[in-house]
Structure 1
Amino acid sequence: MKISARNVIEGKVLEVHKGATTSHVRIDIGGAVITSSITNEAVDELGLKVGQTAYAVIKASDVMVGV
């Protein structure tokens, strides 16, 4: 996989929760969890299943930090 995004984080799929049109995919990245909202169609095309390796790809012009 070649992509332009600089932030690619490997993890394991913890949960795929399908809604009417959108799924929430939770990925364990080694103690922290990233949740992504993607289409149900994307979940099906990627064949996402709990326990499999997946990558959180983060590309944004702004990253907010709070304390």
Structure 2
Amino acid sequence: MQATANKVLKGTIKHISLGSVNAEVTLEINPGVEITAMVTTASVDKLQLSQGKEAYAIIQASQIMISVD
């Protein structure tokens, strides 16, 4: 796979939490290291995502923000 994104991380789908419109997909990219993405439920169906399947987290962001009170 080739992509122009900044980071492409290969992992295994650990969990999918389906909502009515969106789904939360958690990838384990290394033992104990997880990344979670929000995608549409239509994308889950189209990509045939399921627990245990290999997938890629493609990250393209100019900045990441963290905030606390």
TM-score normalised by L of structure 2: 0.86
Mapping 1:1-67, distance limit 5 Å: 1-30=1-30, 31-64=32-65
RMSD between superposed Cα atoms in Å:
1.5
Return 5+ residue gaps in structure 2 as ranges: none
**TM-score scaled to structure 1, two decimals?**
0.89
Aligned length: 66
Residue 3 of structure 1 aligns with an amino acid whose one-letter code is: A
Report the CA distance between 1:36 and its aligned residue. 0.3
Secondary structure of the corresponding residue to residue 61 of structure 2: coil
**Distance (Å, rounded) in 2 between the aligned partners of 1:65 and 1:7:** 19
